[in-house]
Structure 1
Amino acid sequence: MLNHSQIVIGPQGLEGDLCIVKPVHGLVVFAHGSGSSRHSQRNRQVAQALQRRGLGTLLFDLLTPDEADDRAKVFDIELLAQRMLQALDALPDQAHGLPLGLFGASTGAAAALVAAARRPDDVQAVVSRGGRPDLARDSLGSVRAPTLLIVGGADPEVLELNRAAYKLLQCEKRIEIVPRATHLFQEAGALETVADLAGRWFQGHLGTD
């Protein structure tokens, strides 16, 4: 059973799509990448896979439409991390107390890692899909939540950046390389592999196994 609702986040009135499954074992908040929004089809596909595993999801817009047109704001990791924290603060009563995970793509992964570093008592797990954890370099050593980095094997530049960031993480960590996948995981079966890896990670660290 799925319970869908809309929530409003922060002083900018950012829109969020909250889905609570019943029974629910945890909640995963999504941070989309540059040039995307809460309507990201890739994130929604992963979210639906997590819902089938008994995890609630929140997909929300990190930026207003005007901000999204400003390239500087799209790559302003501090701003994006603040929006992540605002989303955590805006969670309604039905989501309070649930084990919490963060799923970030591209620049959203950096924002998720910064938020995890600042809320070590709240965030139990982080997953990055084709992310830019290097953009959260100053916060990586402070992340306590177990962190999974998923990278496409045919995305060499981002893979190198992830390997460098991986060395800076001091928490439980893993890097998974999806063979033949490019940055957007558009290849047949690639996103399904991402969803399976993420689902296993969250189930293992949000106490749902």
Structure 2
Amino acid sequence: MTTADTRTLAIACGSTRLNAELFLPARPSALVILAHAGPNPEARDDALAVVLRHAGIGTLSFDLLSSSEERFADNHHNVSLLASRLLDGLALLKQQMLLEELPTLPIGLSGAADCSPVVVRAAAIRDRDIFAIVCRGGLIDLAGMLYLHTLISPLLVLVGESEQRVEASNWRALRELAGRKELKRLPASADAPASAAAFEWVARETARWFVHHLPTAVRTKRA
């Protein structure tokens, strides 16, 4: 691939059909699925996608809820439903890679808030297909203990400086993981969690994690 590729993927999720926006830069090194449930969790996924693309990583922005489903709060917390839909999207990507409709790329998952346990569960289920995960906030223990114990993908958890309860809960959950894991707290120098400085820190740490782990994971898998 020598030019950027932008397209909309239609993903069948049971009786529901969802759309996801795919962007592949020229000669992509990897692909990260940016999962969210409803409107962008921090209204920052689009900007994060730009940062990842500059690092040579393609992105798939995937809203796991339809517009009618977004009105009901319970849907945003339904880890089982959302993980199932994320797996449907992953299955389509793998199928298109197998058919050479997409380049074969290592895949990472990124989720924030309610989607943090969703991406952890999906990665645990497809443990040979997901090479790295980044969670921004949220409670990863909601993925379920079984999935925490079976997760092998390197996991980075980013939390706000004032999110002591979330941080403590995620530290407990991380102790259940056998694979590579790391938790980083938003530095005090980033001002407020919604500030531009905070976003720059999140974007930098996210891109660094994927750049470091996705290519390494592929070489390890083939060894």
TM-score, normalization: structure 2?
0.85
Alignment match of 2:23 (pick from 4, 19, 23): 19
Matched, 1:103 2:107: no
- How do residues 13-52 of structure 1 correspond to structure 2 at under 5 angstroms? 13-32=17-36, 35-37=38-40, 41-52=43-54
Q: CA deviation at 1:196?
A: 0.8
| Distance change >3 Å, CA 79–CA 96, structure 1 → 2 | farther
Further displaced range: 143-152 or 163-172: 163-172
* Cα offsets for 1:153-191 (capped at 9, x unmatched): 122222222212211222111111112469x93023111
- Unaligned ranges ≥5, structure 2: 218-223
CA distance in 2, matches of 1:190, 1:10: 36
What is the deviation of 1:208? Answer: 7.1
CA distance in 2, matches of 1:113, 1:170: 13
Instruction: Single out whichever of 133-142 and 49-58 deviates more from structure 2.
Output: 133-142
Tell me which of the two structures has the higher relative contact order, counting C-alpha pairs closer than 8 angstroms and 6 or more residues apart. Answer: 1
How far apart, CA to CA, are the structure 2 residues paired with 1:96 and 1:144?
24
What does 1:101-140 correspond to in 2, within 5 Å?
A: 101-138=108-145, 139-140=147-148
| Match status 1:176 vs 2:177 | no
Please list the CA deviations of residues 32-76 of structure 1 after superposition, one character each: whole Å capped at 9, or x if unmatched: 25x5349x6311111110010000000011011222112222111
From 143, 149, 155, give the equivalent of 2:151. Answer: 143
Of 20-29 and 58-67, more deviation after overlay is shown by: 58-67
Do the aligned residues in 2 keep the contact of 1:30 with 1:103 (CA within 8 Å)?
Answer: yes
> Could you say what secondary structure the match of 2:196 adopts?
coil
What SS is found at the alignment partner of 1:13?
strand
Shift of 1:95: 3.6
| 1:83 counterpart residue number | 85
Residue 96 of structure 1 and its aligned partner are, at CA, apart by 5.0
Report the residue type matching 2:29 in the other structure.
H
Aligned-CA RMSD value: 2.1
Kindly, what percent of the aligned residue pairs are identical?
Answer: 33
**Equivalent of residue 61 in structure 2, options 59, 62, 68:** 59
In the TM superposition, residue 132 of structure 1 has moved relative to its aligned partner by 1.9
Whether contact under 8 Å (1:154, 1:179) holds in the other structure is no
Distance 2:213 2:121 in 1: 19
Aligned residues: 206
* Structure 1, unaligned runs of 5 or more: none
Relative to the length of structure 1, the TM-score reads 0.91
What residue in structure 1 maps to residue 208 of structure 2?
200
Structure 1 or 2, whichever has the larger Rg, is 2
SS of residue paired to 1:206: helix
Aligned to 2:220: none
Misfit runs of 4+, over 6 Å: none
Greater share of helix: 2
